[in-house]
Amino acid sequence: MFKFSFYVSIFFLILTGYSTEKPNIIYILADDLGFADVGFNGQKYIKTPFIDKMRQEGMSFNQHYSGSTVCAPSRSCLMSGLHTGNTRVRGNGHGAHLLEDDKTVAMLLKAAGYTTGCIGKWGLGTYENAGAPDKKGFDHFFGYIDQTRAHHYYQDYMWRNGEKEMYPDNPKKRNKYSHDLFTEDALNFIETNQKKPFFLYLAYTIPHVDLDVPQDSIDPYLHLPEKGPYKGGHYISCEKPRATFAGMVSRLDAHVGILLSKLRELKIAENTLVIFTSDNGPTPAGGADPDFFDGNGIYKGIKRDLYEGGVRVPFVAWWPGKIKANSTTDHASAFWDFMPTCADLAGVKSYKTDGVSYLPTLLGEKSKQQGHEYLYWEFYEKGGKQALRSGDWKVVRLNVNKDRNAPLELYNIAQDPSESQNLAKQYPELVSKLAKKINEVRSESEIFKFQAKKRKKKK
């Protein structure tokens, strides 16, 4: 009787198409790509047909937020499942890195039986401290350990699993473009690990400055009007900055298409969730021109702002047969939601997190989707900033380094997504309530503190 029941159960599972196999997870992270730098969010000049098709075959999130408004803390939020008021790395620089007791999504998935890989930009520690990728749950790493080196695309070496892979002639001959190397390595990682569940964190550096890309990507955009060459400095000079920026985004787009094609070729697309997003809003650094491309769309602010344009980012999820094609959602989500989402996908319990799994939204189970009580960000540059969103209301505080209780700006994001009308004076009780919440949701950091810079005494 037991054997009969067992085989009937197996037959039923096969018949209904149900699988207990854990899905592969690929998280593609662009660098400094604005909300409207992709076609599906309204980009007029840059062609992104493969990402747009990914969106047509999957789901776009209209209200997805990055972890921070700059690179390192945004990635720290993604890996740790904690917002910038609680994660370890809360800003760029200061020697900050993940510590031994910091848990990551890669550690969670590896413990659940996944093979894990990080390809591209890390920026959360080096091989000289506890924040190296191999100490944070990754079986494989190839790319930039250091954020500053990641500014440049033709390097003399890349890190591969703790060793330097040397390209001594590359800076002069320029024949190994780092983004291309990342895609090549990603394809190899996928093919090598296709028979078992894998997690690939593919952290591209495009279109982060330098403005630099092979000429074949620039040529389709030479018709764009230029305001003049970028003369260079820390970032390299660029004769055609607008055409180059557009070409970089298109090259990124083409490689996303190559990756999705590889999944289909290997017949593992139906068991692979692919997410595409960006680490923060667009930047004018290095000759980039977010005003011309309207990279932030209708949203106020850019990189280093906590207004929507600095933290609201493009987001599309693709999972054939699981995610409804050509669907959208207004569910408000953020980078720290990725860890609990992965925990649900892997069928395990999440580490401590500020996040909420968005798996129900991906699967079209809207009634099961838990919402956020709040979303929170803090940033220590440009005078110090804080922001908190609760429901449709968002508060922004500037000049925190001078005054920890500086006045809050208040916006209704649903009615005023461009944050053009500060309603703080009209709703003083709400402002007071949200001001209290800002202080409750964060913890103090030993490294990152809101404080005025000490002025040197005149001799």
Q: Are residues 183 and 308 in the same domain?
A: yes
Of the three residues 368, 398, 429, the one that is the final residue of a domain is 368
Q: Which of 205, 374, 200, 362 is nearest to 279 (CA)?
A: 205
Residue 123 counted as domain residue: yes
Q: What is the total count of domains within the chain?
A: 2
- Which pLDDT score, from 0 to 100, does residue 21 have? 85
User: Interhelix angle for 241-265 vs 49-56, to 10°?
Assistant: 50
Q: Are residues 155 and 92 in the same domain?
A: yes
Residue 363 CB contacts under 8 Å (≥ 6 apart), including other chains: 322, 323
Q: Are residues 274 and 410 in the same domain?
A: no
CB 292 within 8 A of CB 242: yes
CATH number of the domain enclosing 360: 3.40.720.10
- DSSP E strands in 74-166: the ranges are 115-121, 140-144, 157-160, 163-166
- Which pLDDT score, from 0 to 100, does residue 453 have? 58
Give me the residues paired with residue 238 across strands. 230
Residue 458 counted as domain residue: no
Residue 12 counted as domain residue: no
> Cα(276)–Cα(412) distance, rounded to whole angstroms?
27
Give me the residues paired with residue 153 across strands. none
In what order do the strands lie in the sheet containing 163-166? 163-166, 157-160, 140-144, 115-121, 198-203, 24-30, 272-278, 315-318, 59-61, 327-329
- Which pLDDT score, from 0 to 100, does residue 452 have? 66
Residue 137 counted as domain residue: yes
- DSSP E strands in 352-392: the ranges are 375-379, 385-390
Q: Mean pLDDT, consecutive 10-residue segments, the chain of 459 residues? A: 43 42 97 98 98 98 98 98 98 94 98 98 97 98 95 98 97 97 98 98 98 98 97 95 98 98 98 98 97 98 98 98 98 98 98 98 97 98 97 98 96 98 98 97 95 55
Instruction: Indicate the SS3 state at residue 341.
Output: helix
Q: Are residues 392 and 277 in the same domain?
A: no
Residue whose structure tokens are 């009209």: 426
The number of angstroms, rounded, from the C-alpha of 420 to the middle of its chain's C-alpha atoms is 26
Q: Are residues 363 and 388 in the same domain?
A: no
CB 105 within 8 A of CB 338: yes
| Residue numbers of the domain that contains 321 | 23-368
- Which pLDDT score, from 0 to 100, does residue 205 have? 98
CATH number of the domain enclosing 423: 3.30.1120.10
CB 225 within 8 A of CB 242: yes
Q: Are residues 300 and 389 in the same domain?
A: no
Q: Are residues 283 and 397 in the same domain?
A: no
Residue 373 counted as domain residue: no
Q: Are residues 362 and 388 in the same domain?
A: no
Residue 181 backbone class (left: φ over 0; alpha: ψ -120 to 50; beta: rest): alpha
Q: Are residues 335 and 399 in the same domain?
A: no
CA angle at 33 for the pair 299 and 71, rounded to the nearest 5°: 100
Of the three residues 344, 368, 392, the one that is the final residue of a domain is 368
- Which pLDDT score, from 0 to 100, does residue 386 have? 98
Q: Are residues 242 and 272 in the same domain?
A: yes
Residue 450 counted as domain residue: no
Q: Are residues 361 and 396 in the same domain?
A: no
Instruction: Indicate the SS3 state at residue 142.
Output: strand
Residue 9 counted as domain residue: no
On the 0-12 / 13-18 / 19+ scale of CB atoms within 10 A, 105 is: buried
Q: Are residues 310 and 397 in the same domain?
A: no
Residue 451 counted as domain residue: no
On the 0-12 / 13-18 / 19+ scale of CB atoms within 10 A, 18 is: exposed
Of the three residues 324, 340, 368, the one that is the final residue of a domain is 368
* DSSP tag of 427: -
